[in-house]
Amino acid sequence: MTQARHALVPSAYLFLVRGGPEGPEVLLQLRRGTHYMDGWWACGAAGHVEPGESVLDAAVREAREELGIGVEVADLEPVATLQRTCALPDPVEQRVDLFFRLQRWSGVPRVAEPHKNAELRWWALSALPDRVVPHEQQALDVLARGMLGAVLTRGFGQQLTLVAAVGRNGVIGDGSAMPWHLPEDLRHFRRTTLGGVMLMGRGTWDSIGRALPGRRTIVLTRDPHWSAEGAEVAGSLAEALLVAGDHEVFVVGGGEVYRQTIEHASRLVVTEVDRSPEGSVHFPRIDETRWRESAREPQQGFAFVTYERR
């Protein structure tokens, strides 16, 4: 049988580097208006390689289009090659990124695409901003160490686990709160997620009201201006999984986030509650042809059940 194949999406990235009072400095842009990682600092210029174009020519083109500068291919120094994926099977999330250092160019770098770039700023490699696009931060770490030519990966150790308490009728809540208070289930939730990465929607964050200790929390929201102490913010599922990195990601609500992720999950950790409460928010149906029960711990009025993907 012929195996299905997928194509990697290639991109070229440029680190412009100059000397500075605190050591080498790199030019970064503040993303905006792209609907992906907006509000994060990124390479001065970057973009997809077009059909029939070499990655070197793509780097030269992106420098001209995004920064208004001239670049010679001979001046491009390879920094790192990074292959990345995430728990989503979407082919566009299968990527290979090639990073180059550039220490010589013609012209003065400027914001040539203001609809995508809010600001250009030189940063000391030893004092980079907190919110650098995560996979680009990996390449910047290589650049800062001066160990050029690295081969990096991201996302290949990532898996999704959905964690929920669900009534007999599939109800998990009314959009603002859970329809029960089960202290042992709360302790089970803590044991399951402690030390991990939690992914939740804005409504779930609001119902909890704070960041839970001992865990990273990524909040999905369409509001680009929303922030909260202890929360990492993402505007899309793909963005959230890029931020999460090579970890087990615990999806903890609400209903729409469960719906978007269940087809990509490896494991379900479900508290099956022996009640049928009123509520407008439901957990997706667990299809027994796709999931098998691997563990069950009966409790008083509920059970902790683990499902593994078949």
Q: Where along the chain do its domains lie?
A: 9-154, 159-309
Distances, alpha carbon 162 to alpha carbons 32, 59, 174, 211, 244, in Å: 31, 40, 19, 18, 15
Q: Give CA–CA dist 236/240, Å, rounded.
A: 6
Residue 120, C-beta contacts closer than 8 angstroms, at least 6 positions apart: 27, 28, 29, 30, 44, 67, 109, 110, 111
Please compute the mean of the pLDDT values over residues 174-182 and round it to a whole number.
Answer: 88
Going by pLDDT thresholds of 50, 70 and 90, the confidence category of residue 1 is very low
pLDDT (tens digit per residue) in 113-141: 999 999 999 999 999 999 999 999 999 99
Band of pLDDT at residue 4, cut at 50, 70 and 90: low
What pLDDT does 6 receive? 67
Q: Calculate mean pLDDT across residues 167-171.
A: 97
The domain 9-154: what is its CATH number? 3.90.79.10
pLDDT of residue 5: 64
pLDDT of residue 175: 79
Cis bond leading into 52, ω under 30°? no
pLDDT of 89 reads 82
Let me know if the fold of 9-154 is the same as that of 159-309. no
| Mean pLDDT for the stretch of residues 32-52 | 95
159-309 CATH fold: Dihydrofolate Reductase, subunit A (3.40.430)
User: pLDDT above 70 covers what percent of the chain?
Assistant: 98
Place of tokens 């059940």: 305
Q: pLDDT digits over 208-227, tens only? A: 999 999 999 999 999 988 99
At 177 the pLDDT is 81
Q: How far apart are CA 222 and CA 256, in angstroms?
A: 13
Query: What average pLDDT does the chain have?
Result: 95
| 111: Cα separation from own chain's centroid | 26
- Section 86-92 average pLDDT: 87
pLDDT in tens, 249-292: 999 999 999 999 999 999 999 999 999 999 999 999 999 999 99
Residue type, 298: P
- Look at 218 and 174; give whichever has higher pLDDT: 218
- Of 44, 14, 39, residue with least CA distance to 29: 44
Question: Is the CA virtual torsion 268, 273, 275, 280 positive or negative?
Answer: negative
Mean pLDDT, rounded, for 14-37: 96
pLDDT at res. 125: 97
